[in-house]
């Protein structure tokens, strides 16, 4: 039962990554590449009807985490308290930027909210990559000092960074060179994903330029992924042990590189949606590869005193996990129906939606 809810949690997070990921990427494109008012409106129209619904998946992930893995929920939300609050404020500013821009038609007013939307999107992409880096690297569970646990085995707290900026320091921080590197990978990947969504959903004059941007950034992404595989050995001496023991899991890294390979043909795709499919394959494959590489751990311990948090020692009681099944399938059915209706209503190009005009 623990494994089932783990798959559900990872599935929800993967859906969130794909759906809200293109929102973040669109915001980054809006910040750096949208020069004209027409292009800016095309970008906001492409994500306008979807962005708030996409964030529901993040709330759903939090709900499943609270219900199925309460110890992990308590540990993570206390240990990562500061960055979680920062992410909350960034989500708020991104939403305000989208909603407030069209309230007053004044160049200064519009510029302020354009920057709020773009910068918040950029920092959210960076922070979610850093968050993934923290999970891969692990934390000092129990706040062990000199071989002695000073707190409960599942407790930890991290400042934003430590003086050495090292992922192997005794006093770890949220941001170090390893987690920051994964944050940069996240920014590049989501920028590509957002550009592909804009190409797919609009006929903007920006689209030919975005295809060139995707091609160039995909080269950068390939280099960054190859480097990340190398530096992973500094964090985990045997990072591929799960893949060696279960060869079927190589499907996920293969999916990742199929996504990257496909994106190199973005300039020759006959259908605009093909680029989005390949960036989705990369995101899902990369996220799944990361998850299965540390399985069954969900938050590794960097010390030898306290054990890592796993899907087994953080799960709720068997009765609760079983009782939640019926409610989960009802909720899943309703959500699927909602999203099918939403994406059918707003199918096709979105240039004329006029989102944010009041």
E strand spans, the chain = 144-145, 148-149, 297-299, 309-310
Measured CA to CA, the distance from residue 309 to residue 325 in angstroms comes to: 23
Under DSSP, the state recorded for 307 is P
Does pTM top 0.85 for this prediction?
A: yes
Identify which has the larger pLDDT, 351 or 95: 95
In sign, the C-alpha dihedral spanning 122, 81, 98, 280 is: positive
The answer to whether residue 55 scores a pLDDT higher than 60 is yes
The answer to whether residue 286 scores a pLDDT higher than 60 is yes
> Of all helices (H) and strands (E), which one includes residue 289?
helix 273-294
Q: Where are the domains of the chain?
A: 2-345
In tens, the pLDDT along 2-51 reads: 999 999 999 999 999 999 999 999 999 999 998 888 888 889 888 988 88
Cis peptide before 296 (omega within 30 of 0): yes
The answer to whether residue 358 scores a pLDDT higher than 60 is no
In tens, the pLDDT along 18-31 reads: 999 999 999 999 99
pLDDT of residue 248: 93
pLDDT of residue 355: 67
E strand spans, 126-169 = 144-145, 148-149
pLDDT of residue 357: 59
**Do 22 and 47 meet the contact criterion of CB atoms below 8 Å apart?**
yes
Measured CA to CA, the distance from residue 198 to residue 185 in angstroms comes to: 20
The token pair that represents 17 in the structure block: 């990554």
Measured CA to CA, the distance from residue 207 to residue 217 in angstroms comes to: 15
Under DSSP, the state recorded for 139 is B
């Amino acid at each position: 039962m623990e494994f089932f809810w783990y798959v559900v949690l990872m599935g929800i997070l993967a859906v969130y990554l794909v759906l809200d990921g293109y929102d973040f990427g669109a915001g980054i494109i809006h910040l750096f590449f949208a020069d004209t008012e027409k292009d800016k409106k095309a970008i906001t129209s492409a994500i306008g009807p979807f962005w708030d619904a996409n964030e529901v998946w993040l709330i759903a992930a939090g709900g499943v985490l609270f219900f199925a893995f309460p110890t992990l929920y308590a540990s993570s939300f206390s240990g990562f308290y500061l960055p979680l609050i920062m992410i909350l404020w960034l989500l708020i500013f991104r939403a305000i930027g989208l909603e407030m821009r069209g309230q007053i038609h004044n160049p200064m007013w519009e510029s302020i909210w354009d920057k709020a939307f773009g910068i918040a999107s950029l920092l959210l992409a960076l922070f979610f990559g850093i968050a993934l880096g923290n999970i891969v690297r692990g934390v000092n569970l129990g706040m062990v000092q000199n071989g002695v646990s000073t707190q409960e085995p599942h407790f930890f707290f991290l400042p934003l960074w430590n003086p050495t900026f090292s992922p192997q320091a005794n006093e770890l921080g949220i941001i170090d060179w390893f987690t920051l590197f994964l944050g940069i990978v996240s920014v590049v990947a989501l920028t590509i994903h957002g550009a592909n969504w804009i190409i797919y959903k609009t006929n903007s004059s920006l689209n030919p330029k975005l295809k060139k941007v995707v091609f160039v950034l995909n080269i950068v992404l390939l280099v960054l992924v190859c480097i990340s595989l190398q530096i992973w050995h500094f964090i985990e001496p045997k990072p591929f042990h799960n893949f060696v023991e279960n060869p079927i899991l190589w499907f996920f890294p293969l999916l990742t590189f199929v996504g990257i390979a496909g994106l190199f043909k973005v300039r020759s795709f006959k259908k605009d949606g093909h680029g989005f499919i390949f960036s989705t394959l990369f995101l899902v494959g990369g996220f799944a590869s990361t998850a299965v590489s540390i399985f069954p751990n969900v938050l590794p311990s960097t010390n030898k005193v306290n054990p890592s948090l796993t899907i087994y020692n953080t799960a709720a009681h068997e009765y609760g996990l079983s009782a939640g099944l019926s409610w989960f399938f009802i909720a899943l059915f309703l959500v699927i129906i909602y999203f099918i209706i939403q994406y059918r209503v707003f199918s096709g190009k979105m240039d004329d939606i006029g989102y944010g005009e009041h």
